Amino acid sequence: MAPGSFAEYTVVPAAVGTPVPALKPEYLALLVSGTTAYLSLKELGGLAEGKTVLVTAAAGGTGQFAVQLSKMAKCHVIGTCSSDEKASFLKSIGCDRPINYKTEDVGSVLRQEHPEGVDVVYESVGGAMFDLALDALATKGRLLVIGFISGYQSPSGLSPVKAGALPAKLLRKSARVQGFFLNHYLSQLRAAMDHLLEMCARGELLCKVDLGDGAPGGRFTGLESVFRAVDYMYMRENTGKIVVELPHSVNSKL
């Protein structure tokens, strides 16, 4: 969460260190992805029993937590993904309706199965998916933007959306679109992390990590494999949070 993250070693103030019960890669998934899902849904989502939640990139690093936390709130959860294997994973963590966007048209599914719209969207893809999610909002619906991976590789770093119609669409439904950036909620990070760790310890929350075993070139091991891990993410091949393993040295516990 600081400049210089792609390094074998880094120095941070003790005050921002996060204690974890053990050296497990699963806990890495909680630090940014888990807390983003937890805090954005808690502070902005307005989740309540019976509401419908759409999670885009639902089998990814943060989507997996949005699915599980929404189910814990007794919501009906829809999740988009890119393969049947990911759809099976989503079902295993409680997603009521996985949508494989490579075999089904997301917009058509939402219109047919949820003609009244969805109450909350947890959106991390951007571009065309943002437009679909916006159109799918119910009256007084909320669209939370926590990322836009479809635009990360563009020269400007922006993901194009049809913003010209945005005011009219929001007005017509009394809907809202709001961004969430974890750095603006750092005062709540420690408490959120502690809560998520407790949920993991009780077996209530699954932290899925992808170490790259199925990636071209195999498992992501060593700093030199970071570029493969990033490409793997952009190809949308990962299930869960991508983790690169760095070899331990004799001083790694210092």
Answer whether residue 188 is part of any domain.
Answer: yes
Domain range for 174:
24-201
pLDDT of residue 254: 37
Is 18 domain-assigned?
Answer: no
Tokens encoding 182: 């974890």
Using alpha carbons only, how large is the chain's radius of gyration in Å?
A: 18
Report CA torsion sign: 124, 125, 128, 132: negative
Do 39 and 159 have their domain in common?
Answer: yes
Q: Is the pLDDT of residue 185 over 60?
A: yes
| pLDDT of residue 251 exceeding 70 | no
pLDDT for 208: 96
139 and 234 co-located in one domain: no
Q: pLDDT confidence of 188, banded at 50, 70, 90?
A: very high
Distance CA 42, CA 228 (A): 34
221-235 pLDDT per residue, tens: 999 999 999 999 999
What proportion of the chain, given as a percentage, has pLDDT over 90? 78
Both 45 and 101 in a single domain? yes
Q: What is the mean pLDDT of the chain?
A: 91
Residue 1: the pLDDT is 66
Q: Are 156 and 196 found together in one domain?
A: yes
Q: Say how many domains are in the chain.
A: 2
Distance (Å, whole) CA 44 – CA 17: 26
| 13 vs 180: which has the higher pLDDT | 180
Average pLDDT over residues 41-59: 97
125 occurs within a structural domain: yes
Q: So what's the pLDDT on residue 68? A: 98
Segment 33-48 shows an average pLDDT of 97
Burial class (CB in 10 A: 0-12, 13-18, 19+), 170: middle
Do 233 and 178 belong together in one domain?
A: no
Same structural domain for residues 117 and 216?
no
Output the pLDDT for position 156: 59
Regarding whether 217 and 140 lie in a shared domain, the answer is: no
Is position 2 within any domain? no
Does a structural domain hold residue 14? no
